């Protein structure tokens, strides 16, 4: 069992996380979920006793294909001169991944910590899916 938080990859300078989501992720990161002494005490005892009681959070970043399309549209003609199809796909993926790091992963890690697992989802480019194993 796990909690799956799905977020659309932002466009046009939008934010990935709202204030409440940032707070939820900070609480999860810091092990402070729960808002009463009974719950906090009970949960911490159960988690120590039953490791399976810890519910992991996985972040799913949707519409990766739209990010790839946006990056592809913004490439200049001069950047494409002499590129093979494979080199073109590699360039688009590298630029999209750099944008993903800047707009999604850095803000996510700021709130949730660097160990939060995440994945990208796309229906158009299945070979470019990012697996869940990004967290160390």
Q: Residue-wise over 103-136: b if at least 16 C-beta within 10 A, else e?
A: bbbebbbebbeeebbbbbbbeebeebebeeebee
Beta bridge partners of 60: 6, 119
**The model's pTM:** 0.70
Residue ranges of domains in the chain = 3-128
Model confidence over 23-75: pLDDT tens digits? 888 887 887 654 444 445 555 565 565 554 556 788 899 999 899 999 998 88
| Number of helices and strands in the chain (H, E) | 6, 3
The helix/strand/coil state of 62 is strand
Q: Which helix (H) or strand (E) holds 66?
A: helix 64-74
């Amino acid at each position: 069992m796990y909690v799956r938080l799905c977020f659309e990859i932002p466009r046009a300078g939008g934010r990935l996380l709202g204030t409440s989501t940032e707070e939820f992720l900070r609480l999860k990161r810091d092990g402070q979920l729960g808002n009463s002494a009974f719950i906090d005490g009970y949960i911490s005892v159960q988690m120590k006793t039953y490791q399976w009681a810890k519910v992991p959070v996985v972040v799913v970043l949707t519409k990766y294909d739209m990010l790839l399309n946006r990056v592809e549209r913004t490439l200049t003609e001069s950047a494409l001169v002499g590129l093979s199809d494979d080199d073109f796909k590699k360039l688009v993926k590298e630029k999209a991944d750099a944008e993903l790091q800047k707009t999604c992963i850095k803000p996510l890690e700021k709130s949730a910590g660097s160990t939060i697992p995440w994945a990208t989802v796309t229906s158009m480019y299945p070979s470019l899916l990012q697996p869940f194993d990004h967290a160390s």
